Amino acid sequence: MLWQGKIDRVIKIFKNFKGQAFKTFCNYLETHRCRIVNYQYYKEESISSIGSGAIESIIKRIGLRVKISGAQWNIENVSSILALRCAYLNGQLSI
């Protein structure tokens, strides 16, 4: 059910179980609801790779681009540079 993004149904199943592990699990689902991906939807729509390897590779490439040799970044500027890079790659930046 989590694969399909049915978080409420999972919580409903486990909510009345006794034991701290079940309560902890339900609390985790509630807290991280917005971060739990509906993998089935992404797979069916061929939106993106759902494997962690591809995601880790992309993160590594972004990190390398930010760490350009000789460049010095203030922590406040990194998010702006990444936003520009994302806009460029998504075709939202006209040059």
Assess if residue 11 is contained within a domain: yes
Torsional sign, CA 61, 62, 66, 67: negative
Assess if residue 36 is contained within a domain: yes
In this structure, are 57 and 85 located in the same domain? yes
Assess if residue 94 is contained within a domain: no
Q: Residue 75 and residue 66: Cα distance in Å, rounded?
A: 11
State which residues form the domain around 84.
52-89
In this structure, are 39 and 57 located in the same domain? no
In this structure, are 59 and 77 located in the same domain? yes
Assess if residue 61 is contained within a domain: yes
Question: pLDDT digits over 33-57, tens only?
Answer: 988 888 888 778 777 666 667 767 7
Q: Residue 12 and residue 1: Cα distance in Å, rounded?
A: 12
User: What tokens were used for 71?
Assistant: 């460049």
Rg value, the chain, Cα: 19
pTM tops 0.85, yes or no? no
Query: How many domains, in total, are found in the chain?
Result: 2
Note whether 32 and 2 are within 8 A (CB). no
User: What tokens were used for 10?
Assistant: 């999972």
Question: pLDDT digits over 52-92, tens only?
Answer: 677 677 777 777 776 677 777 777 877 887 888 788 778 78
Assess if residue 17 is contained within a domain: yes
Q: How confident is the model at residue 94 (pLDDT cuts 50, 70, 90)?
A: low
